[in-house]
Structure formats: C-alpha cells, structure tokens
A and B are shown apart, each in its own frame.
Chain A
Amino acid sequence: MIFLVIFQIAKASEYVSVLRGEKKAREQANKINGFLMLAFLVFGLAGAWYCNELLAKETLFPQGSASIEGEEIDNMFMWTLLFTGLVFLATQIALFWFAFRYQEKEGRKTVFFAHSNKLEAIWTIIPAIVLTVLVVMGLRHWFKITGDPPKDSMVVEITGQQFGWTYRYPGDDGILGKKNYKLINGGENNPLGQDWQDAANYDDVLPTNMYLVTGKPVKLVINSKDVIHDVGLPHFRLKMDAVPGIPTTLWFTPKWTTEEMRKRLNKPEFEYEIVCDQLCGASHYSMRGIIKVVTQEEYDAELAKLKPNYFAAFPDKDPSTKKEVTPVADAPEAAKTTVALVENKMAVKPTL
C-alpha cells in the first residue's frame, strides 16, 4: 500500500519538474533545499538537545561510577565530550550555514581561494594539541587500570562458558588451586577442572553469585571454558575478555553495596549485573551474572555458609558427612567395625 503511494508521488513529481522547465525548476529546487539546510540545522540541534533531555538520565552518568577507578573514566568522558562537542557545534553549524548562505544566486561571485598555509597550520596544530591532551589523560588512567592491583586486594576467579558464569574464591589459604581443562567433569562436580592433586584447591568455594566487599579492591582472574566471552561490568565502568587458554585480569574497588545502590536509585530490584560483552553464540544475551556488593561482615557470613567444592566432588571428604556416620558411643561391635572401615576409607588418597 505504502509503496503504491510513494510510486504515485514519484511519478507526479517527475511530471511536475518536466513541466516547469529546467532553469526555473533548478532555481526553485535550490531555494527549497537551501532553506531546508537551515531548517535541518535548527531542528537537528533542537532534536539533539531534546534527545539529551530524554535520554541522558537513562545513562549511567547520573548515578555515578560504582567503582573508584571508574570515576576517572566518567571524568575523561566529560572532558572528551567538551572538546568534541565544541568541534561538533562549530563544524555542523558552519556546514549547514554555509550551504544556506552561499546557495546559488544570480550574479554571485565566488572567491578563488585554493589554499592557505597559515590556515592549514592552525587547524592541524590545534587539533593535534587537544588530542595530545586527551591521550595523556587517557593513558595515565589506562596504565593505572591495567597495572597491578593494590597489595590488599581480594582475588576472585570468574570463568565464562556457553552460557553462564562460574565463580571461585580461594578460601582461607588465599590461593586459587590449579586447574586443568581436561579434568572438567560436570557429573563429578568439577565444572572448572580443579586439579585435586593441588591442596590449594581443597578450600576453594564456588558461590552462585559473586560477593564483593565495599571499599575493598578486588582482582578478577578471568577465564573461559569454550569461546571468547567478556566480563562486562557497566556500573563499574570496566570489562575484560574471557579467552580460552589465556587468563586475563581486571581489578577495581566497589564503592556502594547493592543495598546502598537500591536506596540511591530508588530501585528495589537493582542488581550489579555481569554482562557478556563478546558474541559467544545463540544465547549470548542470556549470560547474566550477579555481583552482590556487601559489607565485610555480610561477606564473611555468606562465605562461611559455603562448602568447598572439594567436598561436593568427594562427599566422603566432607567432615559434616563424616559426623553423620559416627555411631553412638555404646554401639555394638558391628558399629565399631563400621567406624573403623569408614576411617580407613577416609585415609585413602583421592584418586582422579
């Protein structure tokens, strides 16, 4: 239907321009288009302003950066916006104004102005200086973010796969145990391929969400089990690819607990979400992870609830299950034998 209408308009306009005669048609067209150039400038700038009114509050800027390191990123954005914004206004206005102002007119004389070394120098040097300033600002911060995390950072490992995230905490020894992808076995509760020969693995826990402590820097160790994913943290202004075979890292310091954010934004459903930021297959859009930023006490409490994954892989290693098979003190002889048998089994080294 719509196409028919357009075709009809098209045909009609053709005939109109033929009827008018070439020169007159051209003058008329020039006038209209010249006016439209100016109109586009005005409405375009108005539109940009209106768009900003509507959408600026939907961006992450109003709520501020949820990480200390991200504050500088927001700051740099604003400086860049200032410089580019000025250039944008100056050039777009010049463009559409010139188009309108210098439209074809009977008898208008053009100026044969083919070059000016002075002008060229000015608009080469000034942009170069502005860009250098932006580069210096940017690189100072880049080296900080990609540099070493503070000595007192906690360490959390996050592994991406099609289509979800697995988190691992190093436990009391503070060391993440070694992994080998060939040891991955979902059926035996070893989704990450933890190498049980490495004792550092015995206290590593795998919570369902990532827990971080407000004010405490965290270093994320990032892995992937299959294709390239990306740990995207919009609220913290950071992200890093998860590449199979090549561990990457990212560090930052959260500023506000999840509860605090909920209050600040007046959004009871707010969560710090982990976004997969690299196309990883058909369910790329559904890899949602959640970070709970909590106080130190809450964090300690949460982690205390968790059992090391070692026990999930080897239930008989779990002290709480051991307690269950401990018999009553005055049990008959058979029970004592049972205890002895169980204790023997416990002494056996775990096999892979």
Chain B
Amino acid sequence: MSQETIIQSQGGAVVTPAIHHEEDHGHHHHEEGFVSKYIFSQDHKTISKQFLITGITWAIIGGLFSVFFRLQLGYPDSTFPWLESILGRWAEGGKIKPEFYYALVTMHGTVLVFFVLTAGLSGTFSNLLIPLQIGARDMASPLLNMLSYWFFFLAGIIMLSSLFIQTGPFSGGWVAYPPLSALGEASPGSKLGADLWISSMAMFVVSSLLGGLNYIATVLNMRTKGMTMTRLPLTIWAFFFTAVLGVLSFPVLFSGFILLLFDRHLGTSFYLSDIYLQSTQTALPNEGGSAILYQHLFWFLGHPEVYIILLPAMGMASEILATNSRKPIFGYMAMVGSLFAITVLAFLVWAHHMFVTGLNPFLGAFFVLLTLLIAVPSAIKVFNWLTTLWRGNIRFTPAMMFAIGFVSLFISGGLTGIFLGNSALDIHLHDTYFVVAHFHIVMGVASFFGMFAGVYHWFPKMFGRYLNNTLGYIHFWGTLVCAYIIFWPMHYEGLAGMPRRYYDFSIWESFKQFGGLNEVITIASILSFALQLLFVFNFFYSIFKGRKLDTKNPWNSTTLEWTTPINAGHGNWPGEIPEVHRWAYDYGKDGVDFIPQTQPVGAEESKGH
C-alpha cells in the first residue's frame, strides 16, 4: 500500500525531509490544495476531526430534541409560545403536537445512537488512534477512509432534510418496527419521512462498513516492528473488536431495511399480514409476513450496536485510568479476553429485546442464559478498573474524571441489565421507564463519558493545545450530577408500570402521580444540555486559543501516539517509525514513573508483568 511520507511544517510550506523508504511505495512531494487537505482529506487525523466535529453537531441537535420533548413531559399542561417560533406548525399554540413528539423521540434516538455514539465515537477515535498507537503512517486504505466520512456526512444531510418535509420526519421510534414503519397510512411520519430515514441509515451503514474494514485491516497488517498483538494498548483491542462487531452485524440491519423498503413500495409481504387500516377502512392484501422477522433482523445489529457504542469507551477508559493512576491496567490479558467474550456473546443475545413478542419460550430461555452470561466479562472489567485505581497515584485531569465517572455509570446501568435480562422480570419491565433508565445510564451517559474522556485526553494530540481544565471540571461534575438526577428516579417510574414513549399521562390513574418528578427531571435535563454547550464552547475556543503544548507527551504516557511531533503532519513520524519493545503499561515498574513502549528492555529490568 502506497503511503505518503511527506511532512508539511506548520507554516504550510513544503519541506523536503529525510525520506524513509518502505517496502514498495513511490515517493513524491506535492502541495495539497485546501480541498484535498481539509475537505476530502485522506489523512486519518483530519478525518478523525471531521467525524468529531460532525458528531458534536449532531449531539447538539439530538440533545436539543430531548430538551423539547422533555418540556412536554415535564410541563404537559403548559404552552411555550417560543416553541412555536422555532418549530412552527409542529408546535401550534406553543404545545408540541403528538406526531411531532414521536418524531422528536425517534430522531433523538437515531441521531444519538448512530451519528454521535457510533460515528462520532468510533469514527473519531479509531481514526485518530489506530495508526498512531500501532505505529503506522495512516490507515490501510486512506481513500476508503475518506469515503467512510463522506458517506456519514451524506447520511446526515439526508436525515437533516427529513426534518423539514411536509409530512414530517420519521416518527416510529429509532427501532422502526413495521407495520408502523411500513405503512404511510398508519402515521404521517411513516410517509416520506420513513423513506428518507431508511435511505440515511443505508448510507450510514456503508460508512460504518468502510470504516470498520479499514480498522481491521490496519490493526492486523500495519503494526510497527515489535508491536505484537499482546503489546497493543487496550484502546486498539477495543476498536478492533468494535469494528468486527460492526462488519458482521450492520449488513443484517441493511437487509432488514431493504425488505422494509420493499414492503413499503413494491407490494411485498415480508413483514405484513392481516392488516385492516382504520384510517382508510381498507383491508390490505398482504398475507403471510411476520412483523417479528424485522425485529430479529434489526436486533441482530441492535444488540451488537450497543457494544459498538460501549467498547471504544471501555478501551479508552482503560487507557486513561492506567495513565493517570501511574499504574498498569490490572489484568491486561483478562481485559482483552473479556473484550473478546463480550464481542462473541454480543451476537448471541439479541432476542432479549423481544421477550414479549410471543417468541417460543424455549428460545427465550436460551437468550436469558446468554444475556446473563455476558454480565460476567463486564463485571471482570469493572473489578479490573477498580484494582487499577487501588494504590495508584491519581491525577485528576478532566479526562480522568470522566473515566472514573464512566466506571460509576457503567456499574449503575449494567446492574439494571441483570433485571431486564431475566425474561420473567422483563415481562413486567419491558417498555417501561425502567428500560429507559437502564439504557440511558449504561449506554447513553456512560459512553458519552468515555467519549468526553477521550476528547479531553487526546485533544492535545489532535490540536496541539489543551482544553480548559476548569471548564472541564465544571462540565464533569455538573453532568454527572444531572445525569443521575435525570435517570435514577426513572427506575421507580418504571416500577410503577409507567410506559415509555408516552406523550401524556393525564388519563392514566396508574401513573399520573409523577408530575412533580417529571418536572424535576426536565429541569435537570435542560441544565445538563447547557453544560454540554459549555463544553462545546470550550472545545472550539481551545482549538484556536487553548494553552499550547510545550511537550510532545503531556500526560507522560507510554504509548506511541505521544512520540510524534506536536501537530504531526502526514505520515506521523518524520523519519522512521519507532520500534516497540514492551507492552503499553509500564507505569511505576521498578520504581520508574513510566517507560515508553519504544524503550528497549534494560538488562536490570524485572522480567514480565
């Protein structure tokens, strides 16, 4: 694979460096225009920034949607005239219409799960860190990498356009179950909005596949000399397994969407049978289809998807916890093993989302067993993180705070999964706020904390500057407190039987008593959103005005990414790529604060770890 080894200095002028020859590539230097350097860049570091900034943009949009629908939930009897100025006919009289409420909820889920926590998380950090931490000049295919970003961008454009159409954006939930998602007559949001949603998601799947294949190929083939698989930092293992999860499961989702499109427009009956539409008073001709088939196809991705979201956060947390405790990550091989176990098991638990669909009970039992089994490697990871902290010398950088917060949230959210994974309990808890609490804590907030930890930790690598610490601490403490205030009480609402995806509870004797609590949750969510805007300000401001780095290795970390120059150019290392002699976690070995991976093993060093 041909790779560029041209370095451009910060001033932008082309400098002729000592060119390093690698196997078989041509060398040449050229000036890159603005378009090929910044827009259609094939440099993994630039692409990672593109993913991050696009991800941040979508996070603001998705978060804003949740503020809107929380206004309805917290203040169901109020009107907000200013809402009408923003949302127009969707909030006539200052109250969000039910159809639009469901569109907001759908878009919130779709945007945050896919655009922010998949593309924005994996896309950013796999791209940034894989070449830098394994010792490669760039990805295996910089071209496909560039395409992976632009397909994501295209997916975003299509999704954005769906917000402005006459019949409204798709409103059938981020899971898009047919027949609701298949029949335009069942809901206005299932008209054009659904087609745009499906098309956007199809582009997104392409983007993810391109990225994932690249990450796998790069990790397997392009490690520098001495970088054996067991010397890889845990971040790389995490990104690697994440990519495997995606490559094997996204195509199934894609097939589910194709069949849905066929049912919508070509008169097929994959998911449709025995349907009489009230709105048009007609019986549809479709017979023999199974709506549950879609659910199997969807959740076959849907479950691995949550691990696609979680694993990068876990990998980065491991890295950041070790670095800032000045201790090796405890149980490296167990951590790798548990990532592997989670990856394998992730493919075998999908129907725990379907316990109440009427599936064969024996099948259900099989999924209960595997679901509770997946709790074991997750538990191992938590215990290992705790042991990493034990008797460390902990530096509270904002990144470290978010990594610690990640562990706390993962514990809280993960444990409630044990309730839900037990099918008999799930019968009671399915589709209640207990589930909403569970997945927001364990996936939404925890992975967001992992993402923030990554941003605060590697921002210096990306931009040669630091993010402001004080703002970081405020961001951390504020968000942690708000997140628990928002989602902890929701468990109780779920245990009262309060269903999810309800616009209003006033006609229900059984759960109209939570008005006060819903208001508190809404206020906390608005506050939390404001704190995220504070972070966004910090992010963009610091790109230009942040305190500059005066050292290549601000965190005194052992890993390879910190051995490149500050603001490294194309090709990352001027001259030869460093050789690796040890694993990534020699912190505090033989009393030495840290030993970089590039340092050869000394004669007096103690053996092994």
**Interface mask (B86-107 → A, CB under 8 Å = 1, otherwise 0):** 0000000000001100100000
Residues in A with CB closer than 8 Å to B566 are none
The answer to whether B292 and A243 have CB atoms under 8 Å apart is: yes
Supplied contacts A282-B102, A283-B98, 17 more A-B pairs, CB within 8 Å = A10-B468, A33-B396, A59-B492, A80-B419, A84-B416, A98-B386, A104-B393, A109-B588, A110-B393, A112-B609, A114-B330, A115-B334, A146-B361, A181-B276, A222-B358, A232-B499, A245-B291
Give the interface segment out of A119-127, A296-304, A305-313, A323-331: A119-127
Residues in A with CB closer than 8 Å to B326 are 110
Complex CA gap A127/B428 in Å reads: 24
Residues in A with CB closer than 8 Å to B469 are 17, 25, 29
Complex CA gap A2/B281 in Å reads: 52
The answer to whether A120 and B180 have CB atoms under 8 Å apart is: no
Any chain B CB within 8 A of the CB of A288? yes
Any chain B CB within 8 A of the CB of A189? no
Give the interface segment out of B13-21, B33-41, B200-208, B501-509: B501-509
Q: Separation in Å of the A61 CB from the closest CB of chain B?
A: 7
Complex CA gap A161/B274 in Å reads: 12
Nearest A residue to B383, CB-CB: A123
Give the interface segment out of A36-44, A150-158, A169-177, A197-205: A36-44
Any chain B CB within 8 A of the CB of A317? no
Number of A-B contacts (CB under 8 A): 380
Q: Separation in Å of the A70 CB from the closest CB of chain B?
A: 7
Q: Separation in Å of the A49 CB from the closest CB of chain B?
A: 11
Complex CA gap A285/B533 in Å reads: 32
10 sample A-B contacts, Cβ–Cβ < 8 Å, listed by A number: A10-B538, A87-B411, A98-B394, A111-B588, A116-B330, A239-B430, A246-B273, A248-B358, A270-B509, A286-B504
Complex CA gap A77/B422 in Å reads: 10
Complex CA gap A137/B419 in Å reads: 12
Residues in B with CB closer than 8 Å to A108 are 393
Top 9 A-B pairs, shortest CB-CB distance: A234-B497, A245-B273, A248-B358, A13-B470, A138-B422, A55-B492, A59-B495, A146-B361, A285-B502
Residues in B with CB closer than 8 Å to A269 are 509
Complex CA gap A44/B411 in Å reads: 14
Given contacts A80-B422, A273-B508, contact A88 B514 (CB under 8 A): no
The answer to whether B274 and A244 have CB atoms under 8 Å apart is: yes
Any chain A CB within 8 A of the CB of B78? no
Complex CA gap A52/B488 in Å reads: 10
Report the count of interface residues on A (CB-CB < 8 A): 127
Any chain B CB within 8 A of the CB of A340? no
The answer to whether A237 and B428 have CB atoms under 8 Å apart is: yes
Residues in A with CB closer than 8 Å to B331 are 114-116, 119-120
The answer to whether B425 and A77 have CB atoms under 8 Å apart is: yes
Residues in A with CB closer than 8 Å to B423 are 138-139, 142
Residues in A with CB closer than 8 Å to B229 are none
**Interface mask (A65-86 → B, CB under 8 Å = 1, otherwise 0):** 0000010110011001101100
Complex CA gap A279/B509 in Å reads: 20
The contact of A142 among B102, B368, B431, B499, by CB within 8 Å, is B368
Give the interface segment out of A128-136, A207-215, A341-349: A128-136
Complex CA gap A23/B283 in Å reads: 75
Report the count of interface residues on B (CB-CB < 8 A): 130
Any chain A CB within 8 A of the CB of B380? yes
Residues in B with CB closer than 8 Å to A142 are 361, 364-365, 368, 423-424
Given contacts A25-B469, A33-B401, A77-B425, contact A7 B361 (CB under 8 A): no
Nearest A residue to B354, CB-CB: A241
The answer to whether B376 and A234 have CB atoms under 8 Å apart is: no
Residues in B with CB closer than 8 Å to A114 are 328-332, 585, 609
Nearest B residue to A269, CB-CB: B509
**Interface mask (B568-609 → A, CB under 8 Å = 1, otherwise 0):** 000000000000000001011111000000000000000001
Which of B392, B404, B422, B587 has the most CB atoms of chain A within a 10 A radius of its CB?
A: B422
The answer to whether B497 and A235 have CB atoms under 8 Å apart is: yes
Residues in B with CB closer than 8 Å to A77 are 419, 425, 428
Residues in A with CB closer than 8 Å to B325 are 102, 110
Give the interface segment out of B45-53, B171-179, B241-249, B300-308: B171-179
Residues in A with CB closer than 8 Å to B587 are 110, 112
Which A1-42 residues sit within 8 Å CB-CB of chain B? 2-3, 6-7, 9-10, 13-14, 16-18, 25-26, 29-30, 32-34, 36-37, 40
The answer to whether B180 and A280 have CB atoms under 8 Å apart is: yes
Residues in B with CB closer than 8 Å to A232 are 431, 497, 499
Residues in B with CB closer than 8 Å to A292 are none
Any chain B CB within 8 A of the CB of A335? no
Complex CA gap A34/B477 in Å reads: 12
Residues in B with CB closer than 8 Å to A120 are 331, 334, 380
The answer to whether A58 and B496 have CB atoms under 8 Å apart is: yes
Q: Separation in Å of the B417 CB from the closest CB of chain A?
A: 9
The answer to whether A288 and B507 have CB atoms under 8 Å apart is: yes
Q: Separation in Å of the A71 CB from the closest CB of chain B?
A: 12
Complex CA gap A88/B413 in Å reads: 10
Q: Separation in Å of the A188 CB from the closest CB of chain B?
A: 12
The answer to whether A240 and B358 have CB atoms under 8 Å apart is: yes
Complex CA gap A104/B471 in Å reads: 21
Any chain B CB within 8 A of the CB of A48? yes
Complex CA gap A283/B488 in Å reads: 28
The contact of B480 among A10, A40, A92, A145, by CB within 8 Å, is A40
Complex CA gap A227/B184 in Å reads: 12
Residues in B with CB closer than 8 Å to A143 are 361, 365
Nearest B residue to A100, CB-CB: B394
The answer to whether A30 and B428 have CB atoms under 8 Å apart is: no
Residues in B with CB closer than 8 Å to A52 are 492
Given contacts A245-B287, A281-B186, contact A123 B470 (CB under 8 A): no
The answer to whether B177 and A279 have CB atoms under 8 Å apart is: yes
Nearest A residue to B274, CB-CB: A245
Q: Separation in Å of the B234 CB from the closest CB of chain A?
A: 13
The contact of B180 among A92, A186, A279, by CB within 8 Å, is A279
The answer to whether B396 and A278 have CB atoms under 8 Å apart is: no
Complex CA gap A120/B289 in Å reads: 48
Any chain B CB within 8 A of the CB of A216? no
Given contacts A95-B407, A235-B497, A275-B497, contact A181 B396 (CB under 8 A): no
**Interface mask (B402-434 → A, CB under 8 Å = 1, otherwise 0):** 001001100110011011001111011011100
Nearest A residue to B328, CB-CB: A114
The answer to whether B361 and A59 have CB atoms under 8 Å apart is: no
Which of A7, A119, A228, A244 has the most CB atoms of chain B within a 10 A radius of its CB?
A: A244
Which B66-85 residues sit within 8 Å CB-CB of chain A? none
The answer to whether A193 and B276 have CB atoms under 8 Å apart is: yes
Residues in B with CB closer than 8 Å to A119 are 331, 383, 387
Residues in B with CB closer than 8 Å to A113 are 327-328, 330, 387, 390-391
Q: Separation in Å of the A262 CB from the closest CB of chain B?
A: 11
The contact of A72 among B419, B424, B496, B507, by CB within 8 Å, is B424
The contact of A279 among B173, B278, B357, B380, by CB within 8 Å, is B173
Given contacts A102-B393, A131-B375, A279-B501, contact A56 B492 (CB under 8 A): yes
Q: Separation in Å of the B12 CB from the closest CB of chain A?
A: 29
Q: Separation in Å of the A40 CB from the closest CB of chain B?
A: 7
Q: Separation in Å of the B181 CB from the closest CB of chain A?
A: 9
Nearest A residue to B480, CB-CB: A40
Any chain A CB within 8 A of the CB of B356? yes
The answer to whether A134 and B407 have CB atoms under 8 Å apart is: no
The answer to whether B509 and A88 have CB atoms under 8 Å apart is: no
Any chain A CB within 8 A of the CB of B157? no
Given contacts A59-B495, A91-B411, A131-B376, contact A285 B418 (CB under 8 A): no
The answer to whether B496 and A279 have CB atoms under 8 Å apart is: no
